[in-house]
Amino acid sequence: MKIDGNAIRPGMVIEHKGSLWRAVKTEHTQPGKSGAYMQVELRDIRAGTKLNERFRASEKVERATLEQREHQYLFSDGDSHTFMDNETYEQVELNTELLGEDKVPFLQDGMVVILESHEGSPLGAQLPNSVILEVAEADAVVKGQTASSSYKPAVMENGVRVMVPPHIEAGTRIVINTADRSYMERAKD
């Protein structure tokens, strides 16, 4: 599907220079004398290389059509992560590089993720927006800090560091945003 160059958004996958690229960052720029353009930081899905490109609104870009299917996370073995298709029960393995190192710590047994594939080959996975984790250790509250603006560092059961409000202590279960690793709320369970 052809789209305008200025319609590219972060997360989109496009076909460019014979490869599949995922848009990481986009910035609309409008210099004074010449026409506006979209400055896009692209990452090659298979090779992992980065590329910065400028696309004008008049340019047409081929947006890749991705197949998205629900899969259940089963287990990890080193750098290999196994998922099962919820409809066909076929198992798919993704390596850490393809999955994304920032997503691996959030994988939990039985978690339902959406695997993206293009022409039969898997490209990556979308995790749920949030996960519930237990705080393994949290720093003590510093006296004199106001509760509204102060956050303290905490380490979760999976080793991820998160900034949490002062009232959160070790052993508390909290909800974390998987996209930016931020505290959302205390778990309601």
CATH number at residue 9: 2.30.30.30
Please give the backbone phi and psi of residue 16, each rounded to the nearest 5 degrees, phi first. Answer: -150, 130
Q: Which strands, in side-by-side order, build the sheet including 80-85?
A: 91-95, 80-85, 67-77, 112-118, 121-126
Examine the fold and report which residue of 126, 143, 160 is the final residue of a domain before the chain moves on.
Answer: 126
- The reply to whether 119 and 91 lie within a common domain is yes
User: pTM, whole model, 2 decimals?
Assistant: 0.71
**What per-residue confidence (pLDDT) applies to 84?**
94
- The reply to whether 142 and 161 lie within a common domain is yes
**What per-residue confidence (pLDDT) applies to 35?**
83
| Confidence at 22, pLDDT banded by 50, 70, 90 | confident
- Domain containing residue 171: CATH number: 2.40.50.140
Average pLDDT over the chain, rounded to an integer: 87
- The reply to whether 121 and 106 lie within a common domain is yes
Residue bearing tokens 């710590």:
105
Examine the fold and report which residue of 17, 47, 63 is the final residue of a domain before the chain moves on.
Answer: 63
The DSSP symbol for 7 reads G
Mean pLDDT calculated for residue range 100-116: 89
Q: Where are the alpha helices (DSSP H) in the chain?
A: 96-99
23-38 burial, b if ≥16 CB within 10 A, otherwise e? beebeeeeeeeeeebb
- The reply to whether 107 and 135 lie within a common domain is no
Residue 57 has which token pair?
A: 């609104």
Mean pLDDT calculated for residue range 104-132: 88
**What per-residue confidence (pLDDT) applies to 148?**
56
* CA–CA dist 164, 152 (Å, integer): 5
In 45-129, DSSP assigns E strands to 50-56, 60-63, 67-77, 80-85, 91-95, 112-118, 121-126
- The reply to whether 8 and 58 lie within a common domain is yes
- The reply to whether 74 and 97 lie within a common domain is yes
**What per-residue confidence (pLDDT) applies to 147?**
53
- The reply to whether 58 and 72 lie within a common domain is no
The parent domain of residue 81 ranges over 67-126
Instruction: Give pLDDT tens digits for 140-180.
Output: 776 666 555 678 899 999 889 999 988 889 999 999 998 88
- The reply to whether 49 and 6 lie within a common domain is yes
**What per-residue confidence (pLDDT) applies to 5?**
85
- The reply to whether 58 and 71 lie within a common domain is no
| Confidence at 1, pLDDT banded by 50, 70, 90 | confident
Q: Is the pLDDT of residue 120 over 70?
A: yes
Examine the fold and report which residue of 107, 126, 145 is the final residue of a domain before the chain moves on.
Answer: 126
- Give the number of domains in the chain: 3
- The reply to whether 14 and 30 lie within a common domain is yes
Mean pLDDT calculated for residue range 122-133: 88
